[in-house]
Amino acid sequence: MNAPSIANAVEVFDLLRDDLAAVEREFAQQAASPVRVVTDIASYLIAGGGKRIRPLLLLLAAKALGCRSESRIRLGAVVEMLHTATLVHDDIIDEANTRRGRPSSNTTWGNAKCVLAGDWLYMQGFQTALAERNFRILDLLISLTQEMVQGELLQMEKLGHLINEEEYFDLIYRKTACLFKVSMQLGAVLEAPDPDEPEAPFEQVMGEYGRNLGIAYQIIDDVLDLTAQHEVLGKPTASDLREGKATLAVIHALERGTGADREAIRTVLADRSFARVPHTQILEILNRHGSLAYATDTACAYAEAARLSIAELPDSKYKRALLWVPGFVTTRDR
């Protein structure tokens, strides 16, 4: 008889309730600085919440492989600290005013203080990771940092320009999926029998799961940016187009649209506004060519690839939770 599957988010979060609470405490403790403004900004960001999906993935990967070490708590806090630092920098780069339904930190403290607080938070994450005395952990985090910075620079170069699907997938791997991948790999590294080995058992499997899940996550994020209500999303809708970013549904419509359709999309990307072409017109073009459905279907294909990648993982309630997560990622509304 097959073991029961994980049915909903409540069951997954109940499974990790104590660990996630410990990660939150560790995050808050590590984010405290002798310089008051750093602590204030970090506390504001922590209070803003978020899905905490990256530490959740690290914890599930570690516990699926039998990890009992407290290192999983520290590294869970590390990946959320790195993620939070990148959000601070993203808001500054994108000149964002809101994040998760609240004013973004840079609107309160200004760009200069926030970019430095983001830098401090990032390096505090590295200092926490350094305490593990594991070179593989540092190797993964350094490579991750390089990928994310390169992704941000590549995206800045392409703002307002048309890109193809290959370029899009490279961007979202660097900016989003790489952190999902490394979160899963870190969970595997914690149970490595020999920390001096270049790769832990199941590290590649976990990494492949994280990569596929992260790509699915970002594609859905991009679809929601186009379609969700402002009140649900917690930030202005269609912000990607207003920032000159061509996402998967838009690329699909550009390849299949009429001359007038392509001109309308190019105008929005070049203007970085809907002053000449309204958002409703762009949505009509995307719906008429099935572009939103195409992007959603692509995300679901990557989600299924994530599930298949851990087929050989020993069965446990944590593996079943990992099998549930891709469905959550592709059906969320924010």
Residue 267 · residue 277 · CB < 8 Å? yes
Q: How far is CA 315 from the centre of its chain?
A: 26
Encoded tokens for 305: 């690839």
DSSP 3-state assignment of 14?
A: helix
- Measuring CA to CA, which residue among 87, 90, 310, 82 is closest to residue 182? 82
Q: What does the radius of gyration of the chain's CA atoms come to, in whole angstroms?
A: 20
Q: What is the tens place of the pLDDT at every residue in 146-185?
A: 999 999 999 999 998 899 999 999 999 999 999 999 999 9
Residue 333 · residue 224 · CB < 8 Å? yes
Encoded tokens for 184: 């899963």
Give the pLDDT band (50/70/90) at residue 258: very high
Per the DSSP assignment, residues forming a β-bridge with 102 are: 99
Q: What is the tens place of the pLDDT at every residue in 94-146?
A: 888 888 778 899 999 999 999 999 999 999 999 999 999 999 999 999 999 99
Q: What is the pLDDT of residue 3?
A: 55
Fold annotation for 9-331: Farnesyl Diphosphate Synthase (1.10.600)
For the cut 60, the answer to whether the pLDDT of residue 213 exceeds it is yes
Per-residue HEC secondary structure of 42-105 comes to: HHHHHHCCCCCHHHHHHHHHHHHCCCCCCHHHHHHHHHHHHHHHHHHHHHHHHCCCEECCEECH
Residue 280 · residue 226 · CB < 8 Å? no
Residue 172 · residue 218 · CB < 8 Å? yes
Neighbouring C-alpha atoms within 13 Å toward the C-beta of 1: 2
Give the pLDDT band (50/70/90) at residue 8: confident
Tell me if the pTM is above 0.85.
Answer: yes
Angle (nearest 5°) at CA 219 between 141 and 201: 40
For the chain, what percent of residues have pLDDT higher than 70? Answer: 95
For the chain, what percent of residues have pLDDT higher than 90? Answer: 80
